[in-house]
Structure formats: structure tokens, C-alpha cells
């Protein structure tokens, strides 16, 4: 059973295989039929393609033959097989008449390059834009551009080459020239001293800038790519720049030029002359803007300074006190000023006279001169001669005098006009005449004055002397001129003569011609030239011989007087001592008599003896004051530091001050350097004097002071009886006193004044009767 099943399976498999084979045969039969039909169609297409290929080949041959570029077919050795008329014309050879090999036409130095290029052509089958340098039959060198391909046979082997050659000799030359011009232009642009900038229509930054612009504004070329020229414009110039740029964009102009300021990278200001030109497309739209920027800062500053100078000069000329007239070479007025019009009473203003004819003006003003015709003649003569004339004097009809100057003006040797200047010198001329008269007058005075005058050079040689100097020295003028004054009059002894460069006055002894000795007082001044160099000196001499003799006599008298004063002082001391001794004896005798005989004398007798004692005491005080007065002298001062506050305290302890009188110091007194005894005498006498003359129930004495750079000023004020004005001077004289007391000697204030004068001070007083008195005095610090 198993075998039967296997047979059955095999039978079914065989049946399926048969069906599949039948299906495959059927399909094969269909494909064979389709292949046959396709083979018939392909044969038909191939025949048609051959026809088309033959047709296209014929057409292509016609195109190559009639093409405007040169067409050449060569074998693999370079021999020309075929070429069109254009190639024949370009090369000068005809393949129908002669054998041509293109390798022979290649320029020698390019043969190897050409060989390698042809090898590449064979290997790759074609090349484009190959350039060759050939020599034509006429000897001309040409550059040709070749596009070539390889021609293969039916088996695909290369058998020939064909190519189209275009003559680019002129194009190459133009291109080279263009490149050269471009290089030259770049050199010019980069080395131009003027800044150059190019911007495109996008205005995102500058497309191109040169070195000059970078150096001018401080930015490098990369930084300019993000900048526009207007970004660097000074804020004050942005508006005028924008106005001109708007005209470019509106088509109102293609270029503009203006001067404006730029801000550099370092924030400096640069003045530049800026020219902008628009480069437009055919549509009129701006494609580029080319700007040239020339730094004119220095020129601008120079122009501004020149303008200021011109304005200043014009102002100066207009306001000059000299009349100015500037004419051109044709005699037309270029410039004049107010003073010129004023001098000649012209009604026209300086502006009105511009461009007027000077000949007419001369005719108009000639009558101002004393000789009108001579004035005109001289004007024409000066213009004709064209020579500089300075300060020529002219006399006017009204008695005035002018100084006229004529200055011809030339520019690079070409006469451009002339300048007249007129100055009224009437006052100067009169001054000169007066000066000449004064000189004659003073020359006479110098010649006859009692003062000797001598002028000498730097070598002390005499240049000028007057008669008085001759009289003093005993020499005449001819003997003195040219002589060395020092050697002649001083005998070589110049120790007491000051240096020449010192202006001073001194005394000198001279020896006269008669060998007499004279004493002169000499005053010298130095003489200078126009360059302030010392060229000598002038001395004035006064003969003081007699005065010197009188001075010697005076000195002798003073010495005698000093001796007499010394003897007088000694006599005063002796007399005071001799007088005091008997006075003391008298005073002792009176005391003894009163004591021993008081009962016998009685009241009247004692009263008389008391009066005698008072007189003796006053006599003693008087002698003491006279001795003190006579001993006040600078020679016996012993100056030390002295505290005046302590001194006043000591004086209050020494003198009697009643209880109803108060002495006060208003401001602390200074410490001075002086003789303690004399200053004590000064303050003690003034305070004692104040105490004695206070008649009020309550007395006040106030002491005060002030000071300046040179002196102390003290004041002692009291509220006493006062002093009438007629006695303000008398009380300082010896033996003058307003006191009614018997003990007053009248010497106290004289001592005060003498002490004050020792210290170069003064004393004065202010007083009102029954109110009080204030004594003021100064002491030198």
C-alpha cells in the first residue's frame, strides 16, 4: 500500500511537470515571435539611422565649411587633412595647394606645451579652450583658442583630430592691456595722497578704500567694510552732506563737491574737500558712488588765518591815521581808507572810491597843494619810474605839510600797481623846528652854564666839552678833545672813580693845568646806540672845592662845639655838686634852727623858716632836673628789654598817688628795647604831671598804645584841669610851667621831649579845659 501511494504521488508530480513545460513552451513561442518582430523593426530603424547619419554628416560638413571660426582636421601627426576658408585666411596656408603640418606653425617656446596638450587630447578624446601661439605664413604671431576632439574609426581607434580655432590675438592683447591698466590704476589708487572710497547701492559699507583714506581717518580697510562716509561726517555737516546726496538720488546731478569735517577714529576733526560722483546703470539707478576725500585741514586753517589776517589788515588800514591809496596797474583804486578821504575833504567814502580812476582823483586833490602842477608832475614821474620813495615832504596850500611815500608792487616780477601813503607831519615839522630852536637854546646854556660837561667814549677819550669844564680844568677845548680824561686829570689815580657801567654821583680830586687840586662832584650817565649797546658816557661836574673847604671848617667847628659841650656837661656836674653842698648845709641849719629856737621864733618866724625850706627844696629839685636834662644823650644809653607793664607798676609804687585817683592800662603794653632809666623818667614825669593836675573827686589816668611797622604810639589820658590851646607848645620848653605850686620847676616836660627825641619819636597833646588832657608820644621800634 505504501508503494501504491508513492506511485500515485510521482504520477501527480509528473503531470504537473508536463503542464509547466507546456506553459513554458507557449511563453517561449510568444517571446520568439516578439523578438522576430523587434529584429525587423530594429533593422528598419538602423537603415533609417544610417540615412539620418549620412544626412547630418553632410549637413555638419556644410556647417564646418561655412563656419565663421577656423575649422581644421588633422591626422595624428599634425598634417592638415581639411580646413575651411576661415582657417585658410587666418593661417595664410591652403591645404589644397601645399602640405601643411600644424606643429611647424607653433611658436618655438610653446612646442613642448603643444606636444603634451595633443597627447592629452588623444588620451581623453577632447579638450576645450586650449590656447596656442602660432606663426602664420606672413610671419605674424597669433594667439588662438582651440576646442578639439578625436575622430575614431568603426573599431573605435583614433584616426584623426578636428578642432575649431578662434583668433584671440587682439582680445588677449586687450585683456593684457586691461590687466596692466588695472594694476596701474591700483598702484595709483593705493599711492594717491587723496583718499578714495567706493560704495555700492546697498550702502552697507565701503566696497573699496585706499591707504590714504585709512591714514587720514585712522581706520583699517576691514573696519571700513561696516562704515559709510556719512557715518564719519561731523554732526554739524551732516545736513549739508545729506542735501547734496539727495540731489544725486533724485537725478538732479551726477556729482557734487563740498568742504566738510570728518571725525577720525581717535576723535580728531579733519577738514576735507569731498567730491562724490554717481555711477549709474542704464536705468539711471545709482550702482556705485565714488568719493575722493582730500585733507585740507592745513589749508583750511591757513585760509582762516589768512582771512583773519586780511580782515585785521583791512581794519588796520581803514583805521590808520595815515592816508592810504592802493592802485592797480591801470590806475584804478583798489583800496583806500577814511583818513585819506579826510585829508583831502572827499565827500565819497572809501567804498565809493573803489574802481574809480586815480587820474581824476589826482586832478581833484591837486589844488590842496601849494604847487598843484608840480604835484601832478611828480605823481606821473613816480608812476613812470616805479621806484620806491619814502617820506617825501609836500607843502599844502593851507600851510600843512604831508609826507608822501610811493611803493610799487610786483608779483613774480610783473608790475601789479602801487601804494601811496600820506601822513600829516605838520605838528612833527613844527616840533622839529621847535626842537632845533630848543637845541640851539640849550647848546648855548650848556656852553655857558657853571656845570662842567664832558662826553667820552668807552676808552675814556674826550668827545665833547663845554666852556665851564675848560674853566674848571684850566685846559682849552683843543687840548682836551681826544685825550684820556682819567690820565689827564687824575694823574693815573683812579681808585676813587667808579666803573664805567655804573650810573652814580661821586666826588673826585683832579689836578688842573696849573697843578692846583680841585674837588669835583661828578654825575655820569651812560650813552647807548640804537642797539642798546654802551658807546660812552656823559659826565656833569660841579666844582665843590670851596664847599669842601667850608665843610672842613664846619667839621673843625663841630669838633670844637663837641668839646665845649663835653666841658659844659662837666661844668654842669661840678656846678650842681658845688650848689647842692651849700643847699644841704642851709637845709640842715634851718632844721636845727627850727628845732632849737622854735619857742623863741614864734609862729611867724617858723612860717618864714618853712618858706625858706621850701625854696631850698625847690632849688635842689631844679638843680637835679637841670643835671638830668644835661645828661640825656645817646652816648650814655644802656638799651635792654623792658616790660612797660612792670615799669608802670614800679612807678605807681614810687610816686604818691592819692586814693581818689585810679591808674589803669587799657591794653597790655609791649616789651621794648630801650634805656630803663630814660623810659622811667618819660612815663614817671607824664604820670606825675597828670596826678598833680587832677581836680575831680574821682580821678582817672588811662594808659594805652597802638603800633605799626615803625613806631609805638602811647597815650596817657587824665580827667584833670586841662591845658589851654595857647600853652600846648610852650609847656615843652625849659622853665615853662602852668602849675601854681612852688615846687614845680618847669623842666619835667622838657626832659620828656628830649628822651622821646632820642628814640626818634614825637610828642603832642589834645586837651580841653576842665575836661582833661591826653598826651601822645611815639617811640621808634
CA 226 to chain CA centroid, nearest Å: 41
Mean pLDDT in residue range 108-115: 87
Whether residue 197 is predicted with pLDDT greater than 80 in this model: the reply is yes
Whether residue 536 is predicted with pLDDT greater than 60 in this model: the reply is yes
Mean pLDDT in residue range 394-403: 88
Whether residue 34 is predicted with pLDDT greater than 50 in this model: the reply is yes
Mean pLDDT in residue range 589-594: 71
Are 394 and 402 contacting, i.e. CB atoms less than 8 angstroms apart? yes
- Rounded distance between C-alpha atoms, residue 56 and residue 59, angstroms: 5
DSSP count for the chain of H helices, then E strands: 22, 27
Are 216 and 296 contacting, i.e. CB atoms less than 8 angstroms apart? no
Are 142 and 169 contacting, i.e. CB atoms less than 8 angstroms apart? yes
Walk across the sheet containing 333-336 and list its strands: 333-336, 323-328, 414-424, 401-411, 389-395
- Rounded distance between C-alpha atoms, residue 722 and residue 482, angstroms: 76
| 600 or 661, higher pLDDT | 661
- 0.85 cut: is pTM over it? no
Confidence of residue 268 (pLDDT cuts 50, 70, 90): very high
Confidence of residue 502 (pLDDT cuts 50, 70, 90): very low
Are 688 and 717 contacting, i.e. CB atoms less than 8 angstroms apart? no
Give residue 668's pLDDT: 93
Grid cell of 632 as nine digits? 640825656
**Greatest distance between any 2 Cα atoms in the chain:** 227
Which secondary-structure segment (H or E) carries 484?
Answer: none
| 47 or 53, higher pLDDT | 47
Instruction: Pick the most confident of 354-358, 573-577, 698-702, 722-726.
Output: 698-702
- Rounded distance between C-alpha atoms, residue 781 and residue 778, angstroms: 9
Q: In a 10 Å sphere around its CB, with 0-12 CB exposed, 13-18 middle and 19+ buried, how is residue 746 labelled?
A: middle
Give residue 501's pLDDT: 37
How far apart, in Å, are the Cα atoms of 10 and each of 3, 16, 279? 11, 10, 98
Mean pLDDT in residue range 631-649: 77
Amino acid at each position: 500500500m505504501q508503494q501504491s501511494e508513492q506511485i500515485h504521488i510521482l504520477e501527480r508530480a509528473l503531470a504537473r511537470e508536463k503542464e509547466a513545460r507546456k506553459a513554458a513552451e507557449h511563453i517561449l513561442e510568444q517571446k520568439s515571435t516578439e523578438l522576430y518582430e523587434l529584429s525587423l523593426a530594429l533593422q528598419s530603424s538602423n537603415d533609417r539611422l544610417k540615412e539620418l547619419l549620412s544626412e547630418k554628416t553632410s549637413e555638419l560638413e556644410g556647417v564646418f565649411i561655412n563656419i565663421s571660426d577656423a575649422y581644421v582636421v588633422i591626422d595624428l601627426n599634425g598634417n592638415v587633412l581639411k580646413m575651411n576658408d576661415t582657417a585658410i585666411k587666418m593661417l595664410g596656408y591652403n591645404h589644397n595647394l601645399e602640405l601643411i603640418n600644424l606643429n611647424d606653425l607653433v611658436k618655438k617656446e610653446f612646442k613642448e606645451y603643444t606636444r603634451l596638450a595633443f597627447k592629452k587630447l588623444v588620451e581623453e578624446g577632447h579638450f576645450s579652450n586650449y590656447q596656442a601661439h602660432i606663426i602664420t605664413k606672413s610671419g605674424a604671431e597669433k594667439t588662438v583658442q582651440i576646442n578639439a576632439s578625436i575622430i575614431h574609426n568603426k573599431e573605435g581607434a583614433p584616426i584623426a583630430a578636428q578642432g575649431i580655432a578662434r583668433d584671440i590675438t587682439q582680445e588677449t592683447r586687450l585683456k593684457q592691456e586691461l590687466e596692466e591698466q588695472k594694476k596701474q590704476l591700483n598702484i595709483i589708487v593705493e599711492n594717491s595722497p587723496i583718499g578714495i572710497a567706493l560704495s555700492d547701492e546697498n550702502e552697507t559699507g565701503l566696497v573699496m578704500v585706499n591707504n590714504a583714506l585709512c591714514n587720514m581717518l585712522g581706520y583699517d580697510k576691514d573696519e571700513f567694510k561696516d562704515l559709510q562716509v556719512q557715518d564719519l561726517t561731523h554732526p554739524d555737516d551732516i545736513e549739508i552732506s545729506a542735501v547734496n546726496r539727495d540731489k544725486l538720488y533724485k537725478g538732479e546731478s551726477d556729482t557734487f563737491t563740498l568742504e566738510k569735517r570728518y571725525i577720525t577714529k581717535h576723535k580728531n576733526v579733519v577738514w576735507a574737500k569731498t567730491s562724490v560722483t554717481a555711477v549709474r546703470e542704464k536705468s539711471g539707478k545709482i550702482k556705485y558712488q565714488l568719493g575722493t576725500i582730500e585733507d585740507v585741514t592745513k589749508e583750511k586753517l591757513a585760509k582762516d588765518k589768512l582771512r583773519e589776517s586780511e580782515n585785521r589788515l583791512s581794519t588796520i588800514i581803514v583805521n590808520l591815521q595815515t592816508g592810504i591809496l592802493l592802485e592797480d596797474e591801470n590806475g584804478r583804486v583798489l583800496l583806500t581808507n577814511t583818513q585819506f578821504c579826510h585829508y583831502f575833504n572827499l565827500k565819497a567814502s572809501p567804498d565809493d572810491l573803489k574802481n574809480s580812476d586815480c587820474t581824476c582823483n589826482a586832478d581833484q586833490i591837486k589844488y590842496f597843494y601849494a604847487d598843484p602842477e608840480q604835484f601832478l608832475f611828480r605823481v606821473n614821474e613816480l608812476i613812470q619810474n616805479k621806484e620806491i620813495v619814502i617820506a617825501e615832504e609836500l607843502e599844502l596850500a593851507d600851510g600843512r605839510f604831508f609826507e608822501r611815500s610811493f611803493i610799487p608792487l610786483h608779483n613774480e616780477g610783473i608790475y601789479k600797481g602801487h601804494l601811496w601813503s600820506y601822513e600829516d607831519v605838520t605838528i612833527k615839522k613844527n616840533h622839529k623846528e621847535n626842537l632845533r630852536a630848543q637845541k640851539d637854546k640849550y647848546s648855548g646854556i650848556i656852553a655857558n652854564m657853571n656845570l662842567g660837561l664832558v662826553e667820552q667814549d668807552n676808552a675814556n677819550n674826550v668827545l665833547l666839552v663845554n666852556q665851564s669844564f675848560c674853566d674848571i680844568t684850566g685846559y682849552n677845548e683843543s687840548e682836551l678833545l681826544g685825550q684820556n680824561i682819567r690820565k689827564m686829570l687824575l694823574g693815573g689815580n683812579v681808585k676813587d672813580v667808579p666803573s664805567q657801567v655804573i650810573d652814580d654821583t661821586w666826588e673826585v680830586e683832579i689836578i688842573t693845568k696849573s697843578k692846583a687840586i680841585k674837588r669835583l662832584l661828578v654825575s655820569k650817565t651812560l650813552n647807548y646806540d640804537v642797539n642798546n649797546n654802551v658807546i660812552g658816557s656823559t659826565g656833569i661836574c660841579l666844582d665843590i672845592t670851596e664847599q669842601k673847604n667850608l665843610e672842613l671848617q664846619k667839621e673843625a667847628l663841630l669838633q670844637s662845639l663837641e668839646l665845649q659841650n663835653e666841658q659844659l656837661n662837666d661844668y654842669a656836674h661840678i656846678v650842681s655838686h658845688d650848689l647842692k653842698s651849700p643847699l644841704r648845709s642851709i637845709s640842715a641849719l634851718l632844721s636845727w634852727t627850727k628845732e632849737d629856737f622854735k619857742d623863741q621864733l614864734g609862729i611867724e618866724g617858723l612860717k618864714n623858716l618853712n618858706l625858706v625850706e621850701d625854696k631850698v627844696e625847690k632849688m635842689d629839685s631844679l638843680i637835679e632836673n637841670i643835671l638830668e636834662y644835661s645828661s640825656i644823650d645817646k652816648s650814655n644809653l644802656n638799651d635792654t628789654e623792658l616790660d612797660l607793664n612792670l615799669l608802670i607798676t614800679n612807678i605807681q609804687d614810687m610816686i604818691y598817688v592819692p586814693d581818689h585817683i585810679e591808674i589803669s592800662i587799657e591794653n597790655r603794653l609791649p616789651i621794648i628795647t630801650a634805656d630803663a632809666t630814660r623810659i622811667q623818667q618819660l612815663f614817671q614825669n607824664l604820670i606825675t604831671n597828670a596826678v598833680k593836675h587832677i581836680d575831680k573827686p574821682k580821678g582817672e589816668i588811662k594808659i594805652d598804645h597802638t603800633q605799626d611797622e615803625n613806631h609805638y604810639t602811647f597815650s596817657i589820658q587824665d580827667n584833670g584841669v586841662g591845658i589851654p590851646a595857647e600853652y600846648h607848645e610852650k609847656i615843652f620848653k625849659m622853665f615853662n610851667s602852668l602849675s601854681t605850686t612852688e615846687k614845680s620847676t618847669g623842666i619835667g616836660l622838657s626832659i620828656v621831649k628830649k628822651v622821646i627825641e632820642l628814640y626818634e619819636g614825637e610828642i603832642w597833646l589834645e586837651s580841653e579845659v576842665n575836661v582833661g588832657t591826653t598826651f601822645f608820644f611815639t617811640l621808634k621800634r
